[in-house]
Amino acid sequence: MEKENTTLQALEILKQHFGHSAFRPFQKEAVEASLGGQDLLMILPTGGGKSICYQLPALMKRGVTIIVSPLLALMHDQVQALKLQNISAEMIGSSQSLSEQNMVFDALRRGELKLLYVAPERFANEYFINILQNIDIASFVIDEAHCVSEWGHEFREDYRNLGLLRENFPNVPISAFTATATKEVASDIVKALRLRNPLQLLGSVYRQNLEISAKPRIGDGVAQIVQFVKEFEGESGIVYAFTRADTERIAEKLKAKGIKALAYHAGMSQERKNNAYKAFMFDEVQVMVATIAFGMGIDKSNIRFVIHATMPRTLENYYQEIGRAGRDGLNSKTMLLYSGQDMAKRVSLLEQLQEGRYKQLAFDKLEKMVSFCQSESCRHQQLANYFSQELAPCEEHCDNCNAGDIEKTDITKEAQMFLSAIYRTNQNFGKAFLVDILRGSKSQKIEQFNAQNLSVYGIGKEHSKQYWDVIIDRLLEKNAIKRGEHRNLLLTQVGIAILKGKEKLNIRADRLILKPPKEERVQKAKVASDLEYNQDLFEALRKLRYELSQEENVPAYIIFGDKTLYHMASLVPITKEEMLEVNGVGEVKFERYGEKFLEVLANWKN
């Protein structure tokens, strides 16, 4: 009976403060574990509702919940959102003055806070530890917990040191949350944080609202990016680029095409970064072109698309980054552009690592990333397999499944040319030199090895380097060739069979289209396919939300998410009771904003 009453109380708080009438998958189990004082490890995709799992119990437990988070901007946004819901939350960060920090510490000592957000570096400060040891702590929450693992993709030494929490606070439960973790990383998190018999909740990596695509990059890829962005007129998106210079270049080219875009990278001044971040969060700019310095744990719910202008380092990075799209559950898209140059750049960086297990692991992860790019099988299924989960093909939420009966092109002849070049050079060289041989290059290296005298010299000169990159990628995907110890290419049994004409090799025809797409009018992407709503009413509600966000100096999505506005535009409520039926509208939010939105809705209905 007591457990039943606790659940009912939790549901009341869920509706009152967060505007939801029911728990999402795994939330109820996580909340119950937290309320019961049990350690927890939760691996749930971005948008799965992890924050509810610690914010809600914090309101029901005695004492303060301490949340360890990696980014100041993320902490700031979450604290703002909580305050708008009348929840006592604060943060301690390096951007605050000493007097501002002392005000938070005073509130902490007086027991006035329910949630306190801090960076992991804070736990190296003895003064901070002493303060915590003299207050009532409900629990510790480690957000982005994959940063704890040295085998993860974003390892941080300060996160690793959080294992001392168990030593300094032996009786305080610890909950760890992340969107990405392989089995090895999950095991490392439990060990590093010294979790005691934790409840482990693992959500499916499959996100049905996310459409995934990957394709060879044509030239610098900007024409492809522009074409993709035009599907999302007025919607927010992120373009990830490899270098700081790339972010500036792509942003300028997008602006030249009439797209509101800004660059973001670690080399910018703090003021410029802050201004760019605010412009994006307040929907004043459509596209943020950024290095991976931007975005980990970003709390903006209405990002409709994520584009990778170059291939990410690992599938963990890739999954984490595309997870920033569609956090509100609405349909969103991703596009990954890749080329052989990306592989070469990544290899060059990895070669600088010290020999050992970590270097080999890094190369293995890179190989899997390359295989993902080149593959013609379901992309969601590949991601699930990478994270040790089973998943049937998605059928319609990735480019490979949507390809259907797309035309195939026979590339056996070209494959034999390349395989023959490997054979004629005794399998001693990498792909760049082999392509130079096929294209009849007159480089110094060609003369150095007398390659101009080979029978394969110049036989593929009618094809571009980009074309040969696609052929090589397909050969690697089909395991017809493999890389040797020194990145030289070696023939496999499959490759020998193709070379001898015993097997054929084909490829999707669209992978051989190596010209930039023509600019043309594109249909706006549909993001709320499960609701019937009036687009003009939605825009009127969005306009009001923007005006309120400017008045209160908070990002628009913090007032109401896009999903809530779509629901309003669909139901068109005109009373408080009807408004409270809208997903995302609770008592607290209604008291603050409800009447203003009802006024717009009533005028529309009349």
Q: Are 461 and 439 in contact (CB under 8 A)?
A: yes
Per-residue DSSP letters for 196-252? Answer: SS-EEEE--S--TTEEEEEEE--TTSHHHHHHHHGGGTT-EEEEE-SSHHHHHHHHH
Q: Are 319 and 372 in contact (CB under 8 A)?
A: no
Same domain, 270 and 307: yes
Q: Please report whether residue 524 resides in a domain.
A: no
Q: CA nearest 491: which of 481, 477, 503, 504?
A: 481
φ and ψ at residue 142, rounded to 5 degrees:
-105, 105
Joined together, the tokens standing for residue 363 give 């190369």
Joined together, the tokens standing for residue 228 give 């993709």
Collect all residues with Cβ–Cβ distance below 8 Å to 578 and sequence separation of at least 6: 571
For the segment 587-606, the average pLDDT, to the nearest whole number, is 88
Same domain, 26 and 175: yes
Same domain, 105 and 246: no
Same domain, 546 and 599: yes
The span from the CA of 527 to the CA of 69, in Å, is 30
Same domain, 439 and 504: yes
Examine the fold and report which residue of 202, 231, 261 is the final residue of a domain before the chain moves on: 202
Same domain, 117 and 227: no
pTM over 0.85: no
CATH of the domain at 597: 1.10.150.80
φ and ψ at residue 79, rounded to 5 degrees:
-65, -40
Q: Per-residue pLDDT tens for 53-88?
A: 999 999 999 999 999 988 777 788 889 889 988 899
Confidence at residue 531, expressed as pLDDT on a 0 to 100 scale: 67
* pLDDT exceeds cutoff 80 at 357: no
Q: Please report whether residue 516 resides in a domain.
A: no
Strand-pair partners of 216:
338
Name the DSSP class of 150: T
Q: Please report whether residue 523 resides in a domain.
A: no
* pLDDT exceeds cutoff 80 at 145: yes
Q: Please report whether residue 300 resides in a domain.
A: yes
Q: What percent of the chain has pLDDT over 90?
A: 55
Collect all residues with Cβ–Cβ distance below 8 Å to 405 and sequence separation of at least 6: none
Beta strand pairing status for 89-92 and 236-240?
unpaired
Q: Are 564 and 582 in contact (CB under 8 A)?
A: yes
Q: Please report whether residue 349 resides in a domain.
A: yes
Q: Per-residue pLDDT tens for 472-519?
A: 978 987 889 988 877 799 999 999 999 999 999 998 887 777 665 555
CATH of the domain at 174: 3.40.50.300
List the Cα angle 523/528/529 in 5-degree steps. 80
Same domain, 220 and 358: yes
Confidence at residue 422, expressed as pLDDT on a 0 to 100 scale: 97
Joined together, the tokens standing for residue 445 give 């290296």
Q: Are 178 and 68 in contact (CB under 8 A)?
A: no
Same domain, 412 and 338: no
The span from the CA of 24 to the CA of 14, in Å, is 11
Q: CA nearest 227: which of 604, 514, 525?
A: 525
Examine the fold and report which residue of 402, 431, 450 is the final residue of a domain before the chain moves on: 402
The span from the CA of 507 to the CA of 412, in Å, is 10
* pLDDT exceeds cutoff 90 at 96: no
Same domain, 127 and 270: no
Confidence at residue 199, expressed as pLDDT on a 0 to 100 scale: 96
Range of the domain at 589: 535-605
Amino acid at 411: I
Q: Please report whether residue 539 resides in a domain.
A: yes
The span from the CA of 1 to the CA of 11, in Å, is 15
The chain-wide mean pLDDT, for the chain, equals 88
Confidence at residue 30, expressed as pLDDT on a 0 to 100 scale: 95
Q: Please report whether residue 521 resides in a domain.
A: no
Q: Are 400 and 215 in contact (CB under 8 A)?
A: no
Q: How many domains does the chain have?
A: 4
Amino acid at 573: P
Same domain, 428 and 382: no
Confidence at residue 49, expressed as pLDDT on a 0 to 100 scale: 86
Examine the fold and report which residue of 376, 402, 428 is the final residue of a domain before the chain moves on: 402
Whole-Å CA distances, 227 to 42, 123, 202, 256 = 38, 47, 37, 14
Per-residue DSSP letters for 85-131? Answer: TT--EEEE-TTS-HHHHHHHHHHHHTT--SEEEE-GGGGG-HHHHHH
Q: CA nearest 460: which of 445, 471, 474, 450?
A: 471
Q: Per-residue pLDDT tens for 403-436?
A: 876 788 999 999 999 999 999 999 999 988 999 9
Q: What percent of the chain has pLDDT over 70?
A: 94
- Tokens 């973790």, residue? 181
Same domain, 150 and 228: no
List the Cα angle 104/178/49 in 5-degree steps. 80
Q: Please report whether residue 338 resides in a domain.
A: yes
Same domain, 304 and 327: yes
